[in-house]
Amino acid sequence: MTATLIDGKEFAARVRGQVAAHVTRLKADHGITPGLAVVLVGEDPASQVYVRSKGKQTVEVGMKSVEHKLEADTSEADLLAVIAQLNADPEIHGILVQLPLPGHLDEDLVINSIDPAKDVDGFHISNVGLLGTGQKSMVPCTPLGCLMMLRDYHGSLSGMNAVVIGRSNIVGKPMAQLLLGDSCTVTIAHSRTKDLAQVVRGADIVVAAVGRPEMVPGDWIKPGATVIDVGINRLDAPEKGEGKTRLVGDVDFDSCAAVAGAITPVPGGVGPMTIACLLANTLTACCRASGLDEPEGLTA
């Protein structure tokens, strides 16, 4: 391996430390405790793990954590009533509705019922529009984490060629907007892109957010490029024992690390940054709601 490893676990711990220090000051100087509410509908096992982890880390940085666990057959009206109550609660500064929602619930309707100022996932249509027009917004956590790591590693990203593989609303599109905001020349690739290998070979920065295990091989990577692997894919790992699995990203780590200048691992890269950025967004939302200065370096 020749690439520098961008350690998301270590970086996320640093971000949580900064958030915790701000929270301590907010409490001491202003008597304000940032509050994050997470709403979980149903019993999807992966979502339950995420929600537990979010709650634990929220408390660890000194914030108030509230969880609303609703039955899988909760009606849309009942879910909207919970969100309305959280929108009106002055002790709650961030609201996150864990996705995916059960099929009978309209995700767009639910997300757009969250007060945009409390929309710490950055998925509300107002925040999407604000980000797209370069205005102050709540920024989706995963792309924000990727941006923080890129800025930390490179300093300025101005003029760099960036290729984002994937055009989802939660990762690909906001990632592209953020890179554009930092003056990269941005290409968004997707399943219909022709000659993806050639497109990726022109990139100084590659962000892979596809959901296809180890899809990007090393010979697509320009020597010295920075590779950010967003993908989380679980593969069977019989070599570890019966029924065991392992996590891999969307890039083939070994071959890419042999060519790239820097690369994020999976696990331990983008993943830990996502929750750290959720906490950073909650802090930002709290400061904005309280008319206080926003924490530096924790927003886009």
- Residue 263 pairs in a beta bridge with 5, 227
In the three-class reduction of DSSP (H, G, I as helix; E, B as strand; rest coil), residue 39 is classed as strand
- Annotation says 54 is catalytic: yes
Interatomic CA distance for residues 254 and 190, integer angstroms: 23
Contact, 274 vs 13, CB < 8 A? Answer: no
Interatomic CA distance for residues 160 and 251, integer angstroms: 20
Q: Is 216 in the site for ligand NDP (CB under 6 A)?
A: no
Closer of 12 and 184 to ligand NDP (Cβ): 12
- Annotation says 29 is catalytic: no
Q: Is 120 in the site for ligand NDP (CB under 6 A)?
A: no
Closest separation between CB of residue 109 and ligand NDP, Å? Answer: 19
Q: Among 130, 170, 180, 258, indicate the residue that binds ligand NDP (CB under 6 A).
A: 170
Q: Among 212, 261, 268, 289, indicate the residue that binds ligand NDP (CB under 6 A).
A: 212
Residue of 18, 98, 115, 182 marked active site: 98
Q: Among 114, 167, 176, 278, indicate the residue that binds ligand NDP (CB under 6 A).
A: 167
In the three-class reduction of DSSP (H, G, I as helix; E, B as strand; rest coil), residue 92 is classed as coil
Scanning 56-64, 94-102, 251-259, 268-276 for contacts with ligand NDP by CB under 6 A, the matching segment is 268-276
- Taking the CA atoms of 258, 262, 268 and 271 in sequence, report the sign of the dihedral they define: negative
Residues 6+ apart with CB under 8 A from 10: none
Q: Is 160 in the site for ligand NDP (CB under 6 A)?
A: no
In the three-class reduction of DSSP (H, G, I as helix; E, B as strand; rest coil), residue 132 is classed as helix
Give the residues lining the site for ligand NDP (CB under 6 A): 142, 165-168, 170-172, 189-193, 196, 209-212, 230-233, 270-271, 274
Catalytic residues: 54, 98, 121
